[in-house]
Structure formats: structure tokens, C-alpha cells
Chains A and B, each alone.
Chain A
């Protein structure tokens, strides 16, 4: 390609050239504005950086090609709606482009999010190194505060939330018999917004004054007064939020309008239900964190006084707006995992999900109740005393639909035919640890208890039990479960089991003791602690290093198996859902013909029962005989 062609065609060359253009535009806006007002100095570093944090990423997105089609269409030039030139992966290069194939986007999401998982995890290792002993050994307090802030932000916005979007992106259209998502170009934009957010957050370490160090919660007025690094979070979160909202819209329209004929809502697999309900949470709640961060940005950059009490501002208002999103956020981080567990348990126990309808209703109940509990994060905040009681009641009530799910999974296992493969092991580990995290959650929901343990390591223990022992274990379960479908190869089962057992043991050794030090009086977000907590902290730290190392077993398994693993059949687990009825990996456009759904998604144990059929096929690929009689050889 000639240089001119390279720089005008969408792609990395044009994206790289766009970056300085974005910077010049950003700086230009600031300098021009300041000149017009007569403010000195014209070249204010903080102001220019703040505006460039918006203009430079937008320039990148334009350069790499996310908006080309829409700009052409808006300009009136002829466009071809069915243009598939950016669709599908035919070489590794296609994974680095703006690609409209949901399967490519799914893998882009998964790989990108795991990269940020590693970065966030390394930050955790550095924190635990510092906390091995009291006193200051490796990092100064400001850096430490930056580490836990960026760690949490990456794990929440750049790993757990988007990796579920990535897994669902790959699986859900296949599961509902659709050729792709409803809005493939929006899907591509949703993905590309994400690395921008992550790079911005990590880049905050290089800002003068260091990384944002106010926690991922960024409470005002601490966050209105801190140095420039804070703005990297304030704006970075907007990009992650935009990505999340656009994806959720896409899932809602896809699930509502593109299900194969015969797939009523009550024949949808539970992963589809989970993604549907999660997407409702995302579109309603995410604008609130956007709002809270816009308020902070206004106070920081425009001189407003939203959070300056001396000038009529209201500090607690920040917390209400922030937590109105951030509590539903934890359900955004869990519901897709619930969907994955339902798929994994029914498949690997060869039994229908017990209480399917109540499983769907409990997802909806969690969505609704999830919007009524936010102030349980504020029990000691000085908000109105009376509000604590209804918030306590709703918080405790949400244990009921959650309990329904745990009991239903147990009842699914009961009398099943249980194959203890790696996905099933992670599902069982999830049930154990999520139950523990749920119990500590009920304790935290009780105001008198929370008064003592709020902002202590008891909370840190709770969140990691539900977010790691909970969400991340479901992510591992899902990755192992759909690995053959996505890559066309089998992962190494022995390495998978080793990964599970080591993770399970060292996870509990790392986060279990945190319950004790928290109740005993150790606050959270501290670079140093009182001498009495030294022994348990040393145990936690050493366990965490081993725990962190186990990730590389998983990473090795994924990479080596993708490259040299044995080829996978279309349906190695003999599951019923539609994604398993096409090849591994699926054809570029998923289906040669649209399947027809003729039954529920979990019809195990009924001889000859199927979920979907393709015309011209007597029997779906590879489900094999599913008799009620045992020991029929394949």
C-alpha cells in the first residue's frame, strides 16, 4: 500500500497519525479559550491534559475506523449496509482491526480484559509485598494509595464487567440462532472504547503527583483536590461506561428481536436470560456513575462547587449518586456469571436446571431489588439516620432470590451424572465461595455489625469472596467450557484441574484471614498497620503470591492448547444449546440456515429430546444418544 493509502485507510497507521491531531485540537481549544478570557498562563498543563484526555482517544477511535461507515452515511455518500469487508477472522491480523464479527469481538474483549487482569493482579502483588510486614518497605504511601485505586478500577471496569460482555458477545448470538449481534459496527466501537479506558488508568501513574489515589470510589472532596492523576480516572471511566452501555443496548435489541423461530423467552438458555437482565442493569445504572464523574470533573476543571460545603455544595450527594450505580454494578459483575454456571452445571451434570422459571424470575428480582440497596455502602457516612433501616431491609431481602439460585444449582447436581471436568470444578468452587461471600454480605447488611466493620478488611474479604471466588471463578468456568467452541481445540484437562485446586486453596488462604483482621480492627486502604496484625498479614501476603502464580498455569494452558491442543469436535460436551450444533470454531456467518427451536434448552434425560433442529438434518450434531438407560456405549 502506498503511504497515502495507508494514512487514509482505517487502521493503525491512520490511528497513530490521528493522535497528535487530537492533541493539537485539545490544546488548541484550551489555549484559545484561555486567551479569549485573558487567563494566564495560556498553556496550563492540567487544563490541556484534561481536554486532551477526551480529544486524543476520540481521534484514535476515528483514525482506527470505528466511525467510517457512519460518517460516510451521514455525509450522504453511497454506503453498502451489507459490507462484510471488516467481518470475520481469516488471520491473526483481523484481531487487531475494527472487526464487525461478534466472534472476533468476543475474543478481542477476552484477551484485552485478561491483559488488564494481569496488570491489576501485579499491582495487587506489589501491595501485598508492602503489606507483608508493618512499616514501609517497597512503596511510599502515595504510590500505595495509587496501587489499590488503579487495581480496583482495572479489575472492575477493565476485567470483570467487560470480560462477561466478551464471553456473551461470542456465545449469545450463537445460542439464540442469530448470525451476529443486532448492531455489529456499534459492537466494534464498544470494544475499542475499552483499551482506551485501561491505558488511561494505568497512564495516571505517570501524571505529576502520581496515579489517582482516592480509591476506585473517588469520594469528594478528597478527589476534587488531588493532583492531575485523578482526572485520568474521571475521564477513563466515561470511556469504559460508554463501552458498557453500548454493548448492553446491543444485547437488549439482539435478544429481544433476533431469537430463532420457536425460541420463546421461556426456551432461552439461562445465559441469555442473565445477559438480558444484566443489560437492563447496565443501561439504567451506568449513566449515574457517568454523572458522578462529570460532577467531579466540573468541580475540578470548571470551578463549580458541587462538593464544596463552604459554597453550598453537598459532599454526601456524591456518594448517593456514585453508589446508585456502583451497587447495581456488583450485580452487573455477577449475573452473567450466574448464567454461565447454569450452563456449566446442567451440561456437566447432564440434567435440566432445577426450577428454570424461578431462576429467570430470581434474575429479575435481583435487578429490581438491586436498585434499592445502594445506601448500605453509606451506613456510617452521616446520611440521614432513618434511611439506614429500609436499606438494611432491602439488602437482607436480596439474599432470598440469590439463595433460590444456589439451592436450584444444588438441586440440579442432585441425582445428576456429574463429570468433574474443569468447568464443573470451578462451578463447584464458585458455589462454595459465593455462599461464604453472601453470608458476609448479610452480616454487612446488618447496621450494628456494619458500624464496626465498615471500611475494614472484613469488607475487603467480602468483596473478594464474591468478586473473585464468585465472578472470576465463573469466568474461568466459562472460558474452559467454551474454549473448544471458540478455538476448535481442547484445553489440557490435567492442567485445568491443577489450576482449579491451587486457586481454590490459595484463594482461601489469602482472603479467609482478612475476615479476622478486619473484625479485629484493621482498616482498609492502608499502606501500614498496627503491629498486632503482622502475623496474619504475612500469611495473607505469602498465600497471595502463590495464588497469583497459579494464573500462569491457566495462561500456559490457554496458549499452548490454542496452538497445539487436540482438535475439538463440534459438541465435545454433548450439550443441547445451539452453539454446540455448529462446528468448533463456528463458520464465519454462524449458520448456513436459521435453526428452529422445538424445546427447552436443558432437555437432558428425555430420549430423543432436542432443543433445536436444522432442516435437512435428522438429528443435531453430536448430542449422541441421551437415553435414560445408563452405560450405552457411544
Chain B
């Protein structure tokens, strides 16, 4: 005599424990793999460090959630699959208040925590520091140009920044919307005609990377890439001095005179 479906499908403690164990192991493996993946371009700014850490934290929340969903789904499909010829129904379960409260509360707590943490990180990476370099960035179809108003450099086609010192970018557009982004720095801001937008970066390594335009700006969008160099302070001062001289008006244009060699 067949047991009623309600009894046949009931899951005993041992099976639940097994499912839980599989879930925990899969989560640990999943988190380990996710953290081991080299997701980002090399960390080259203070913001990169904060953002990459935030990313790792999110992965540590996300992987177990995904594993939970997959474990329950796969387990159900295997355990509760209709046997051939089985024409019956499952038990008429309409809900479980306790379970429903749990799966509203826990996600709510997770997303709220992520929001708060993100807010803290955002304030941190956008905070203004002392002794800034100010660079005016102008995007146009299909290149960037730069000015260092406080250094007396009116126009430069190359972006050179000193390491370990914050640069504040004042970004404008001469025509359509562009977006100023160096993946290694992480920070990105649109260049909008009619506005000046601002973003701040403190580079932490010397090196040479690409500025990538990250807003569709027309036919040349894909190749609107330009070099940014982060150099030691002495080299930066030298470069600035050279640009100032090339500027024609010599040292009279704004700013304090040349320092250093």
C-alpha cells in the first residue's frame, strides 16, 4: 500500500543536514574561487583599494545566496522528481509565516548593511584632501585635453600626475557627453556640456595607463583612449615647468613661479 504523497515527500533531518553541509562546502569553495579571481586592473589609487575591498565583501554575501538558491533548486529537482507514471499532486502547502518573515528580514538586513557600507566608502573615496593638484579636463570628439590652471599650464594633450598626491579633476565637454575614466584608478565621471563635473583621485603607484572614454560620443568613441602617466613628484614638477614654458607666456601666467629643477 503506497504511503500518501504527503508522507513520501516529507524530508527528514538527515537529508536536511546533508543539504546544509553541501551548501556550506559549496559556499566556501565558491567564495574562495570568487576572491581568488583577479577581477580588477592593478590597484593604482586609494579609491581602488576601498572599492576592491567593497567588491570582495559583496561577493562574500552574494556567493552563499546564489549557492543557497541553487542547492534548494537542484535538490528539489533530484529529490522530488515525478517518477514515471506518477500522476498525483504534491501536498497543498500554501505558505509558512515564520519562513516568509525570515526571508524578508535577512535580505533586508543584508542590503541595508551594504547600503550603509557603500555610503561610507563613497564619502571616503570622494573626500577632498590637502595640497591638491587641480586639472581641468576637456572632452571633445574624440580626444581629451588638459590644463593645470594653478601651475600655469594652459593646454596639454598628455595627462601627467604626481604619485601620492590628490588630483581634483574639473571636467567639461566641448560638444557631447563623454566620460572620463582610468580603470586602474576606478574613478569615473561624465563630461557634460554646460556643466563642470568633479572627481578626485590619489594615485598610489607610478606607471602609465589608458584614459578610456566611457560614454558613447559618436563614431570615434571606441578609439577615444589616451595616456595618463603617474610619476614621482620631481618628475611631475619638471614636466609642469616644461609645459609652462612651451605655453609661450612663460612664468607670468598665474601660479607661483617654477620650483625645483
Contact = CB atoms under 8 A, between A and B. Distances in A.
A74 interface: no
A605 B92 CA distance: 5
A631 B86 contact: yes
Contacts of B80: 349, 413-418
Nearest to A221: B176
B92 A352 contact: yes
Contacts of B10: 415
Interface in A387-401: 388-389, 392-393, 396-397, 399-400
B111 to A, nearest CB: 4
A452 B181 CA distance: 8
Contact of B186 (A399, A452, A528, A530): A452
Contacts of B41: 520-521
B132 interface: no
Given A358-B95, A418-B76, A629-B88, A446 B216 contact: no
B179 A455 contact: yes
Interface in A374-422: 380-382, 385, 388-389, 392-393, 396-397, 399-400, 403-404, 406-407, 410-411, 413-420
Contact of B176 (A145, A222, A446, A448): A222
Contacts of A631: 2, 85-88
Given A382-B189, A456-B214, A417 B176 contact: no
B89 A351 contact: yes
A452 B183 contact: yes
Contacts of A357: 95
B92 A447 contact: no
B215 A316 contact: no
B187 A406 contact: no
B119 to A, nearest CB: 6
Given A415-B11, A418-B82, A530-B210, A448 B221 contact: no
A628 B219 contact: no
Contacts of A415: 9-11, 76, 80, 90-91, 93
Interface stretch (A432-440, A483-491, A552-560): A432-440
A588 to B, nearest CB: 32
Given A416-B76, A442-B111, A404 B103 contact: yes
A446 B54 contact: yes
B5 A630 contact: yes
Contacts of B159: none
B95 A417 contact: no
B87 A624 contact: yes
B54 to A, nearest CB: 6
Nearest to A607: B89
B87 A628 contact: no
A604 B90 contact: yes
B197 A417 contact: no
A518 to B, nearest CB: 10
Contacts of A410: 69, 72-73, 76
A219 interface: yes
Contact of A215 (B181, B216, B223): B216
A354 interface: yes
Interface string B160-183: 000000000001000111010101
A12 interface: no
A284 interface: no
Contacts of B184: 521
Contacts of B11: 415
A314 B194 contact: yes
B216 A145 contact: yes
B51 A629 contact: no
A628 B91 contact: yes
Given A351-B91, A380-B190, A455-B179, A520 B58 contact: no
Interface in A309-328: 309-310, 313-316
A606 B92 CA distance: 6
Contact of B54 (A214, A407, A448, A632): A448
Interface of A: 141-142, 145, 213-215, 219, 221-222, 225-226, 309-310, 313-316, 349-352, 354-358, 380-382, 385, 388-389, 392-393, 396-397, 399-400, 403-404, 406-407, 410-411, 413-420, 428, 431-432, 435-436, 439, 442-443, 446-449, 451-452, 454-456, 516, 519-521, 523, 525-530, 574, 603-606, 609, 624-634
13 contacts: A141-B220, A314-B194, A355-B95, A385-B126, A396-B114, A410-B69, A411-B96, A413-B80, A452-B183, A521-B41, A527-B222, A627-B88, A627-B89
